[in-house]
Amino acid sequence: MPDSEIQVPELADSDRHIEVPDSLPAPPADLMRKIDANMADGRVLIIATANYGMRDYMYNWIESLKRTNETKFLVFCLDDKLYEHLVSAGYGEHATTIPDEWFHQAVASEFEDYWSPLYKAITHSKTLVVQRLLYLDINVFFSDIDIVWLRPRMREYLKALLDIRQDTHVIFQQEGLDERQINSGFFMMRPALDMKRLLAETIVLQDSNQGLTQQGAMNRALNSIIKDIRTSSVILLDVMHFPNGFAYFDHNLSNSRGVQPYILHANYRVAGRKKEELQMRGYWYVDEEWIKEIDEVVESTWNDSLTTSAPS
């Protein structure tokens, strides 16, 4: 969803010091092992971030990956409870916690709607994770978990779009119907210097503006990148083949034109309406009873660990 309702004063580039690190510390050995194990051809890593309150959407996302023959992916868990849930569900090799030193703000563990103040901290973590991965020379394929993957070989298609033109450094989903706005919930990014600067500036903007979401900060940071179609390193995906919720739900762009989309991003819907839309259209793949069974296992072990760690 757009940040048009949030008014934050614009800073000139001269007033905002952006430090682009030459390098960042290597991740812990076990995290690096999982990164390497889930790396696809062309050093592409499919990733998502999620917390415990988002677990049903996360499992729906994972199921959509499996249905499109994607077996390598890594979920960066924003809390330990989600990590334990994934381990209990058999996805331990596709899950990792995020090192504490990567965070800039405390992150909630419950589901947060778009307008919640805690939502901004959750989205901020996306940038911090992607930034670290770029410094490992990885082509990061980031996907929000309210996205359903619908067609096989999409990863190869987007990587081909990157490779066919070396000046292309990032491919974004479009936001709404506005070709001037990117959606930061779905993109493939090359580990180029201008992308490292883009993320560094996004982080500075969000750290210094409490009313700005990660998407709003990234769109603002993009203003410093030349967007002439002949020289720009930023490419937008076609909104009919890669629709956001506004294009798909509210304007029916894909179906009305007989287009089979590669994904469906269920944004522009909050709380229960998001799930209802996916269920109604046959894109909700999760066995709710199975999730509840895993919930019970996790809650039991989680409560036991809290009791054990409590002071006597």
pTM for this predicted structure: 0.88
**Residue from 225, 230, 206 nearest 217 by CA:** 206
Task: Tell me the pLDDT tens digit for each residue of 144-163.
Answer: 999 999 999 999 999 999 99
Write the CB contacts of 6 (distance below 8 Å, at least 6 apart in sequence): 211, 212, 213, 216
Task: Tell me the pLDDT tens digit for each residue of 172-217.
Answer: 999 999 888 999 999 999 999 999 999 999 999 988 887 788 889 9
Enter the DSSP assignment of 262. S
Q: Report the Cα–Cα distance between both ends of the chain, in Å, rounded.
A: 47
The list of the chain residues with pLDDT below 50 reads 1-15, 105-109, 111-117, 119, 312
**Residue from 240, 268, 124, 273 nearest 184 by CA:** 124
Task: Tell me the pLDDT tens digit for each residue of 58-80.
Answer: 999 999 999 999 999 999 999 99
Distance CA 222, CA 202 (A): 9
- Secondary structure string (H, E, C) spanning 38-97: CCEHHHEEEEEEECHHHHHHHHHHHHHHHHCCCCCCEEEECCHHHHHHHHHCCCHHHEEE
Measured torsion, CA atoms of residues 194, 132, 40, 191, in degrees rounded to the nearest 10: 10
User: H or E segment at 123?
Assistant: helix 117-134
Instruction: Look up tokens 């760690």; give the residue.
Output: 309
